[in-house]
């Protein structure tokens, strides 16, 4: 009885072995794709499921059910650290509201004015001129020279100055990409200084004077 069972187990064992090797041989043949590794044993051992930044997620699912965990967008309203959003739109209403509501967060000191002068010399003077008369060499070549700070723009409030530097106005382009908000506020102080750089004649007559210079120079 005991011998009989032993023989039967041996027989079954042999058959399983034969069948197993047959399956293995079959699995190793008949590859259609030359690049296919064939049947893989525990593929996750060598196919790393780690996530790469800005790459799709190879995992079938993640906890949020999105398959692109590596390139998920920030939630709406996210702002970079240290960045203060500018809430006024680039339109007439935004311009008016900025003029009414904005106050310069940087206290006025001689050092700040010095910094403002430096920034003005790099970014503004070629159009607006050293005294802010709108008579910089580039300003004079424009189809319409910038109005003088100490003339038409004498009473322009700080918020509107900041708004214009941020978005640009007419022929003046936006300076938001070249100047930080802090630098723009420093410039506001300097422009305000130039608004009082001359005992200007009544508003209006000054811009005519600039226009005259303009035509003379261009002829």
Contact set with ligand HEC (CB under 6 A): 123-124, 127-128, 138-139, 142, 146, 153, 156, 160-161, 164-165, 169-172, 175, 187, 191
- Which lies closer to ligand HEC via its Cβ, residue 57 or residue 123? 123
* Spatial distance between the Cα atoms of 99 and 97, rounded to a whole number of angstroms: 5
- Which lies closer to ligand HEC via its Cβ, residue 24 or residue 138? 138
- Which lies closer to ligand HEC via its Cβ, residue 69 or residue 123? 123
* Closest separation in Å from C-beta 146 to ligand HEC: 4
* Closest separation in Å from C-beta 195 to ligand HEC: 9
* Closest separation in Å from C-beta 112 to ligand HEC: 14
* Closest separation in Å from C-beta 68 to ligand HEC: 41
Per DSSP, what are the bridge partners of residue 172? 169
Q: Give the number of residues written for the chain.
A: 219
When CB distances to ligand HEC are compared, the closest residue is: 170
What's CA 65's distance to the chain center, in Å? 28
* Spatial distance between the Cα atoms of 138 and 215, rounded to a whole number of angstroms: 14
- Which lies closer to ligand HEC via its Cβ, residue 112 or residue 172? 172
- Which lies closer to ligand HEC via its Cβ, residue 164 or residue 214? 164
* Spatial distance between the Cα atoms of 188 and 112, rounded to a whole number of angstroms: 10
User: Cβ contacts of residue 192 below 8 Å, gap of 6+?
Assistant: 158, 161
Please return the burial class of 206, using the count of CB atoms within 10 Å of its CB with bins 0-12, 13-18 and 19+.
buried
* Closest separation in Å from C-beta 108 to ligand HEC: 16
| CA dist 39 → 33, 42, 51, 76 (Å) | 12, 10, 25, 45
What values do phi and psi take at 4, rounded to 5?
-60, -50
């Amino acid at each position: 009885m005991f011998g009989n069972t032993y023989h039967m187990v041996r027989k079954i064992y042999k058959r399983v072995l034969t069948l197993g090797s047959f399956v293995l041989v079959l699995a190793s043949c008949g590859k259609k794709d030359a690049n296919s590794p064939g049947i893989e044993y525990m593929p996750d051992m060598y196919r790393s499921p780690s996530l790469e930044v800005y790459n799709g997620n190879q995992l079938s699912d993640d906890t949020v059910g999105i398959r692109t965990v590596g390139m998920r967008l920030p939630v709406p309203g996210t702002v970079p650290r240290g960045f203060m959003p500018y809430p006024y739109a680039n339109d007439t209403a935004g311009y008016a509201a900025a003029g009414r509501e904005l106050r310069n967060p940087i206290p006025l000191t001689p050092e700040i004015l010095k910094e403002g002068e430096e920034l003005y010399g790099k970014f503004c003077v070629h159009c607006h001129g050293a005294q802010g008369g709108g008579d910089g060499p580039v300003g004079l070549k424009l189809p319409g020279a910038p109005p003088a700070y100490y003339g038409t723009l004498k009473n322009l409030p700080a918020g509107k100055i900041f708004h214009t530097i941020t978005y640009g106005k007419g022929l003046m382009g936006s300076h938001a990409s070249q100047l930080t908000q802090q630098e723009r506020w420093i410039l506001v102080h300097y422009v305000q200084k130039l608004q009082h750089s001359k005992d200007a004649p009544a508003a209006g007559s000054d811009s005519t004077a600039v226009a005259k210079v303009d035509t003379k120079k261009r002829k």
